[in-house]
Amino acid sequence: MPDVTDPYRELPFPLTDLTRNAIRFARGIEDPAIFNHSMRTYLYGRFLGGQRGLRPDHDYDDELLFLGCVLHDAGLSGEGNGDQPFELDGADLAARFLTEQGLPPQRVEIVWDAIALHTCFDVAMRKRPEIALVTAGAGYDLGAGSPALPPGYADRVHAVLPRLHAGAVLYDAIVDQALDKPQKAPPFSMPGELVRQKTQVAWPTWHELMAQPDGWHDYDGYPPST
């Protein structure tokens, strides 16, 4: 049986027994566009870490960074589609998989945090590199920007991991899940904003949320703002 990681040997992935199993797992449950995005997330996260002077397996655990990246959108798979926002569903699925693989709980927790927080940019970027670089890499793959990649590097990456309309596929996956299960896209969240853009349904205002019939009635008798 051919090694599932053979196509990726041209790129600097940390290929251990555990990361190979994670590649097999993610590739088996995710849309190819989402899987390729997840693999590129590691490459760009590692690149951005290097721009900040962070060295793999010296300033951060390279295996944990890879696991957080390759599994960060597992919640957008059929297997990962539960009743929570996709980030939490994905973090829970990844934690179950890694626990079954024998990863110690304290290491599982780091990957869980990286996945659960990967759409919370300002929070994730203040966490340890294994968490922050998942968010940074995922954002870079969808938006590029600065710092610029070395000449030809993106071409090398895309030759092995083609984009396959990644941004469009991610949008549809998030929105389709949330339209089926609205609790997955609460107001003011990133999934909630994507659903709002799709449906054009207005979010409730702060006042409307506070004025729910079964709420605490904090606005009763409160003077209107000027």
Full set of structural domains in the chain with CATH: 6-174 (1.10.3210)
pLDDT for position 226: 62
Contact 107, 35 (CB under 8 A): no
Two tokens at 128?
């340890």
Q: Is the dihedral of CA 204, 182, 23, 18 positive or negative?
A: positive
Per residue in 97-135, pLDDT (tens digit) is 999 999 999 999 999 999 999 999 999 999 999 999 999
Contact 215, 206 (CB under 8 A): no
Report pTM.
Answer: 0.93
Query: pLDDT averaged over the chain?
Result: 94
Per residue in 78-104, pLDDT (tens digit) is 999 999 999 999 999 999 999 999 999
Contact 52, 24 (CB under 8 A): no
Per residue in 166-192, pLDDT (tens digit) is 999 999 999 999 999 999 999 889 999
